[in-house]
Amino acid sequence: MDKSISENGETVADGSIRGYDSLHQLLSANLKPELYQEVSRLLLGSNCGRSLEQIVLPDSAKLSRQNMILISRFSADEEQMRKPRVVRVGLIQNSIALPTTAPFSDQKTGIFEKLKPMIDAAGVAGVNILCLQEAWTMPFAFCTREKKWCEFAEPIDGESAKFLQELAKKYNMVIVSPILERDMDHGEVLWNTAVIIGNNGNIIGKHRKNHIPRVGDFNESTYYMEGDTGHPVFETVFGKIGVNICYGRHHPLNWLAFGLNGAEIVFNPSATVGELSEPMWPIEARNAAIANSYFVGSINRVGTEVFPNAFTSGDGKPQHNDFGHFYGSSYFSAPDASCTPSLSRYRDGLMISDMDLNLCRQYKDKWGFRMTARYEVYADLLDKYIKPDFKPQVVSDPMLHKSSS
C-alpha cells in the first residue's frame, strides 16, 4: 500500500525515499557534483549543448513550504531572420483539499481556495500559459463507478470557468482547465474536457478526451465516452497549443495528430497511479516531444484519495477504497530531447519554464521527420486496417507450413 512521505530518510512501502521529492533530488544529494552532472546529462539531456538554465523568480511569486516550485529555461539557437519567441509556461499539480466524505460543495470550494495562491504565484511570476491537472475541480472518483460523483460536472462556462476567467484576465494568462463537462445542449451528457481560457478572460474553445481507459481501476467509461472534437490546436497570443488528455499519451497517433495540426506546445493533464504507469511516465511525453518537434507539459495529480465505499474492478484484487498513489512528478519535455527535473512525487507544486518556440522549427529542420515520414504509406495501411476484410501483410517462411516427411 502507498504511504505518504515525511521528512526523514526512511524507505517506504511504495519505493520512495522519505525526505526527497524526486529521483533528481535524491541523486544530487548523494552523488559527487561531477558525477551528478554526467548522470543528469544522461537522464535530462542537454539543451543547446548545455544543462537547462535556472530562472530566479521574485519573492512575491514564492509559495509556502508545503508546495514545491521548479523553474528553468529552454533555449534555442540564435537565428538571423527570426527573433526569439520566448513564452513562459506553467503546470500545477495538487492533491485534493478535503476528504472525499466532505460535502461536495465544500470539496470543490476547498480546491479553489487551495489553487488560488498557486495560480496567483504563476501570474506574479509572469506565466503566459498555465495548465491544471485532469479533472482538477474534484477527486478522481471514476474508479468507484458511483454516479453521485456526476454532481461535480459543469458546463464549460460554469463555476470553474468563471473562477479562472478572472485570474486569466488579471494576469494576462491563458489557462487550460480540464474538467468534468456537462453538455447542456445535448442531453446533459458528460465529457472529460479541457476548456481553453484566453488571456482576455474569454473562452477560446474546448477539447474532449480522445481515448478512454479500460484498465485496472480506470472505470471512466461509466461516466463519459471518447471525445468528438478531433485534435484541435488553439492559436493563442503566446503560441499554438494542444491538449492530449491523460490516456491519450499512450497513443502515438494521438500525439502525431496535434503535431500535424501545428501545435508548438501540447499539454498532457493526467491522473495516474504508481503501480500502473510510473515507469512509463518519464518516457512517453519525452518521446512525443522528440518525434513531433514540439514542447510537452506533463501534469499528474498527487496524493492518495480514499473513498467511503470499497470497490473492485474485475481484476481479481480484493475490494479497496483508494485508487493508489497519484505520484505527481510533473515535468516539461523539449523537441531536442531535453527535459526538466520533475516536481515532487507527493507534494503540491508549480513548474515554470521559459521556452523559445523557435526550437520547434529548428528541430524540424535538423531531423527532417516531417520530410522523411511516409504519411501516404501509413494512410494506405490505416485505410485498409479499418475495413472488415483487412488482412495483415505477413510473409511467412514456407518451411513453417511444410509437412514433415
- At 113-157, the pLDDT tens digits run 999 999 999 999 999 999 999 999 999 999 999 999 999 999 999
At 299, phi and psi to the nearest 5? Answer: -125, 130
Left (φ > 0), alpha (ψ -120 to 50) or beta: where does 255 sit?
Answer: alpha
pLDDT band at 64 (very low <50, low <70, confident <90, very high): low
* Catalytic residue selected from 246, 305, 339, 360: 246
Region 363-370 average pLDDT: 96
Query: For residue range 73-89, what is the model confidence (pLDDT) as tens digits?
Result: 999 999 999 999 999 99
Region 58-87 average pLDDT: 84
Q: What CA–CA distance (Å, rounded) separates 207 from 299?
A: 17
Residue whose C-alpha cell is 530518510 = 9
Q: What CA–CA distance (Å, rounded) separates 29 from 304?
A: 27
Amino acid 123: pLDDT: 96
Q: Is residue 22 predicted with pLDDT exceeding 90?
A: no
Amino acid 404: pLDDT: 61
Amino acid 12: pLDDT: 41
Burial of 291 per CB tally in 10 Å (0-12, 13-18, 19+): middle
pLDDT band at 297 (very low <50, low <70, confident <90, very high): very high
Amino acid 402: pLDDT: 81
Amino acid 28: pLDDT: 76
Amino acid 46: pLDDT: 86
Identify whether 38 is a catalytic site residue. no
In 3D space, the residue among 257, 277, 283, 214 whose CA is nearest the CA of residue 375 turns out to be 257
Q: Is there a contact between 208 and 192 (Cβ–Cβ < 8 Å)?
A: yes
At 259, phi and psi to the nearest 5? Answer: -65, -40
Spell out the alpha helix ranges (H) of 261-390: 274-277, 281-292, 358-367, 369-372, 375-385
User: What percent of the chain has a predicted confidence (pLDDT) above 70?
Assistant: 92
User: What percent of the chain has a predicted confidence (pLDDT) above 90?
Assistant: 77
Amino acid 3: pLDDT: 38
Q: What CA–CA distance (Å, rounded) separates 13 from 325?
A: 11
pLDDT band at 370 (very low <50, low <70, confident <90, very high): very high
Burial of 139 per CB tally in 10 Å (0-12, 13-18, 19+): buried
Tallying the residues shown for the chain, one arrives at: 405
Region 18-39 average pLDDT: 74
Amino acid 66: pLDDT: 63
C-alpha cell at 193: 474536457
Q: Is there a contact between 216 and 169 (Cβ–Cβ < 8 Å)?
A: no
Q: What angle do CA 308, 312, 314 make, to 5 degrees?
A: 165
Distances (CA, A) of 347 to 7, 190, 245, 391: 12, 30, 22, 50
Query: For residue range 374-397, what is the model confidence (pLDDT) as tens digits?
Result: 999 999 999 999 999 999 999 999
- Say how many C-beta atoms besides its own lie within 10 A of residue 307's C-beta: 20
Task: Tell me the residue type at 359.
Answer: L
Amino acid 276: pLDDT: 86
Burial of 302 per CB tally in 10 Å (0-12, 13-18, 19+): buried
Amino acid 85: pLDDT: 98
Report which of residues 67 and 296 the model is more confident about: 296
pLDDT band at 20 (very low <50, low <70, confident <90, very high): low
Identify whether 131 is a catalytic site residue. no
- pTM score: 0.91
End-to-end CA distance of the chain: 58
Q: Is residue 1 predicted with pLDDT exceeding 50?
A: no
Report which of residues 317 and 183 the model is more confident about: 183
Amino acid 198: pLDDT: 98
Mean pLDDT score across all residues of the chain: 91
Identify whether 134 is a catalytic site residue. yes
> Per-residue DSSP letters for 42-63?
HHH--BTTBPPBPPPPPGGG--
Which range among 83-92, 221-230, 273-282 shows the weakest confidence by mean pLDDT? Answer: 273-282
What three-state secondary structure class fits 164? Answer: helix
* Catalytic residue selected from 108, 134, 240, 284: 134
Query: For residue range 185-223, what is the model confidence (pLDDT) as tens digits?
Result: 999 999 999 999 999 999 999 999 999 999 989 989 999
Q: What CA–CA distance (Å, rounded) separates 330 from 298?
A: 5
* Catalytic residue selected from 143, 209, 220, 284: 209
Query: For residue range 331-360, what is the model confidence (pLDDT) as tens digits?
Result: 999 999 999 999 999 999 999 999 999 999
